[in-house]
Structure formats: structure tokens, C-alpha cells
Amino acid sequence: MKSKLLLCALSATATLAACSLAPVYQTPVTAAPAASYKEAADWKPAQPSDAVPRGTWWSIFHDAQLDSLEAQVTTSNQNLKAAFARLQQARAQMRYVRASYLPTVTAGAGATRTRTSTNAPQYSTVKPPTQNDLLLESDVSYEIDVFGRVRNSVAAARASAAASAADLAVVDLSMHSELALDYFTLRSEDTQQSLLDRTVLDYTHALELTQNLYNGGAVPLADVAQAQAQLETARTQAEDVRLRRAQTEHAVAVLVDQQASTFHLDPQPLSLDVAPPPVDPGMPSELLERRPDVAGAERRVASANASIGVARAAYFPVFNLAGVVGLESTQGVSWIDAPSALWAVGSSAMMTLFDGGRRHAQTDQARAAYDEQVANYRATVTTAYSEVEDWLAALRQLERENSSEAAAVAATATELDQANYRYKAGAATYLEVVIAENASLAAQLSAADIQVRRMNASVLLVKALGGGWENPTPAGALVSR
């Protein structure tokens, strides 16, 4: 009979413990994705080998030095280490909350010696006024999770830990992307530096030629002044590029956790003839599975949903089972004897009857926090689609700009050659040469700027897509025309 009663009690407890006051969770609804990206409409399929692998996505640029620096980011970047520490904190918090599934067991021992006043009203002549009390006991307490408070707390902590893991992936993607952007910016500044240094040298020779012509009476002093002004302007531009390159190099040093005072990258101009690698944007419907920030936002919604259940459970009683077992005696020699044994077992239920609206306020707060996370999730999704479209458009338009600027570079080079011929023959003033030289330099600097913007757009597109992927269908890869 006792075993049947115990079985019934356990069955009832299990039935009650199955209750949960959290709303049934569903991923927030967002607008249905388009069939394809609008800005990729005029792209064509690339070869299967152009697929971008998840993980070391920067390898698509086939730059050994970039690969080496990216590897240092993985192992040394302090922002990544901080994000990993936050993940460890979230996982530890989840284990802490999950421990509530199990009973709490404590043990204690005590020894006291007391003397009762002979003038006290409870004084007894039977017992001696001075006594010992030796106690050794163990307490067990366990909360019966009738209304799901513990389970929802664990669910909220588990979802928060998953969100922290997604945050780590976001930081990882951000740090590697930032390094790639700084690296290509540095290489573009090397290109500009090389171009301006060569220009300064050319302008120095032009100044010498003009000075010799002036000394021979062939040109006026104004031509010498123009040549001098042009040379100094080019020198100023060259020094400014040196400043920007130094600052970019320092930024790279921070990302790989090295001292800027000792870190150095040798100049390596960015080639203007190399097109950015093809990037596969895939289908818009796949984007939400790729981006870690979307995953993190969704897990925060799940955590907030579980927190509503925790808040609602506060309206209901908390049921506890408790027990104690131990030994107690007034003498050490009989402390561990059987007659010294003690035990107790019982249950309790506690419910707040009036709290001035605190529980209602906590529930409203939990619901508002859920609404906030839903809004954040939907905003993250909208931003994700927008960023992909932005960089698809940038790659397409920058390719067109690159073509037109290459034609401009060729045209200004021809114009400069003709102006120099005319000037040396005395058929043109030096002002015409200055105008042609400035136009040629501006076109070349603009071409270098467009090239680095193309490379950076490729990096940012990969970042917008979540950092690379396994190409599910080779024909799905796209490359601009």
C-alpha cells in the first residue's frame, strides 16, 4: 500500500511539473524573402571553383600575407578573446541555472556549551545547569517545478548562451573583415605612394628643364613658378599618403595584437589589373541561416519568451520538499550512537498574496522585453537584406566606374604626351602642360581609389552574407560581367 501511495505521489508530481506558463515559442514572422537579389539581376554564373568556403573566406583573394595576418587575428585578437570570455560566462550561467533541476544538499556540524541561569523561570533541578549540545546534520531541499519556473529559467539561460555564441561569431567575422579592409586600404596607399613618388620625380625633372629654358630665355619666369608650385603640391600629397599609410599600418597592428612601434609591413602596391574575386550571394531565403547576428537576435527572442514564463510563475505557489538527517547528543561518547539519530521530512508551499503590483509589473516588463527583442530581430533581418543589396550594387557600379576610369587614364596619358611635345616645340605654354599633368595624376589616383573600393566591396559583401559558405549548387555562384 505504501509503495502504491508513493508511486501515485510521484506521478502527480511529474504531471504537475509538466506545466509551463511561457507562451509557445515561434520564430517571429518577417516579410517573405524575394526570389533573388534585385542588384544581382545582371550577373552571370561563375565556375564551381569560385565558390567561397565557410571559415577562411579571405583565401579567395589568394594573398599569402593577408592569409598570415588573418591567422594572427584568429589566435591573438583581444576583442575575440573578450567575446569568447563572454561566451564562457553565459555557458557558466546556464549551468548555474540548470543546477536548480537537482536538490540542494548541505551539511553542518556544531558544538555548543551552555549554562542555564538558576533564576530563570524554565530552570529545572533535574537537568544540570551546564550542558553540551553536539550536532551533526545534513539538510536536503528541492523545489518541485510545478509551474515551470525552473525549466523556463533554464530555457532562457540556454537561449542566452546560444546568443552569446552567435555574438562571438559576429565579432570573429567583424575582426577578420576589418583586417581585410585595412589590408587592402594599406595596399592602395602603397599604390598611391608609388604613383606620387614617381610623380614627384617627374615634376623635379620638369622643374629642372623649365629652369634651364628660363635661363636660356626661352620661357618666362611664370613657367618656373608653375613648375615649382606643381612639384610642391605633389610632395604635399605624397607626405599625406605616408601619414595615412602609417595610421593604417598601426590599425592592422592592433587587430593582430602587436605593438605598433615594432610592427611593419613592407610596401606592396595593389594591382589595378586584378579584378575582385567572384562571390556567390546565393538565394535570399538562405541569408537568415548564414548570418550570425540574425541567429543571435532570434535566440534573444527565445530567451525573452521563456522569461515571460518565469515572470508568470510568480503568481503561483512555490512547492518545496525538505528533509534533515543527523546526530545530536550532549556527550561525545554517545554522539554517534543509534539513539542520537534524528531525522525529519516535510513539504511546504508558499505564495505571495499581496505585493503592491510587483509581479504584474515584472510580467509587463518581461512582455515588453520580448516585444523589444522581436523588433530587434526583424530590424536585423531587414538590415541583412539591405546590406547584401548595397554591396552587390557597389560591385556592379564600381566595375563600370573602373572601366570608364581606365579609359580616362589612357586618354589623359595621351593628352600629357601631346602637351609635352607641343611645349618642347614652343607651340604651347607650360600652363597647358601643368593642366595635362594634373589631369593625368588625378585620373591615376582615382583609378587606385576605385580599385580599393572594389576589393573592399567584395569583403563587405562576404561579411553581409555571413562570412562565406559551402556552395550548395555550383551553378548558383555569380560573378559580375
CATH code where residue 423 lies:
1.20.1600.10
- 461 vs 391: CA distance, rounded Å: 5
The C-alpha angle with vertex 80 and arms to 77 and 84, in degrees rounded to 5, equals: 140
Domain-located, residue 126:
no
The C-alpha angle with vertex 357 and arms to 356 and 363, in degrees rounded to 5, equals: 155
Whole-Å CA distances, 416 to 202, 422, 424, 427, 443: 12, 10, 12, 14, 12
Domain-located, residue 118:
no
The C-alpha angle with vertex 170 and arms to 151 and 248, in degrees rounded to 5, equals: 155
Reading the chain (481 residues) residue by residue, the pLDDT tens digits are 334 433 444 444 444 445 788 899 998 988 888 888 888 765 544 444 444 456 789 999 999 999 999 999 999 999 999 999 999 999 999 999 999 999 999 999 999 988 777 676 665 565 667 888 888 899 999 999 999 999 999 999 999 999 999 999 999 999 999 999 999 999 999 999 999 999 999 999 989 988 998 998 888 999 899 999 999 999 999 999 999 999 999 999 999 999 999 999 999 999 988 889 888 888 888 888 889 999 999 999 999 999 999 999 999 999 999 999 998 888 877 778 888 888 999 999 999 999 899 999 999 999 999 999 999 999 999 999 999 999 999 999 999 999 999 999 999 999 999 988 888 888 888 888 889 989 999 999 999 999 999 999 999 999 999 986 444 333 333 333 2
The DSSP code for 356 is T
Is there a contact between 117 and 272 (Cβ–Cβ < 8 Å)?
no
Residue in 65, 59, 468, 449 with CA at minimum distance from that of residue 279: 468
294: cell is 540574425
Domain-located, residue 473:
yes
> For the chain, how many structural domains are there in total?
1
pLDDT the model gives residue 18: 56
Which residues are within 8 A (CB) of 51 and not within 5 positions of it... i.e. 6 or more apart? 280, 470, 471, 474, 477
Q: What is the pTM of this model?
A: 0.85
- 296 vs 87: CA distance, rounded Å: 12
Domain-located, residue 346:
no
Domain-located, residue 371:
yes
Is there a contact between 100 and 17 (Cβ–Cβ < 8 Å)?
no
Which ranges constitute the DSSP H helices of 64-148?
64-76, 78-98
- In terms of residue numbers, what domain contains 254? 17-76+145-316+351-479
Domain-located, residue 111:
no
- 127 vs 116: CA distance, rounded Å: 10
- 274 vs 165: CA distance, rounded Å: 37
- 119 vs 356: CA distance, rounded Å: 48
Domain-located, residue 292:
yes
Domain-located, residue 137:
no
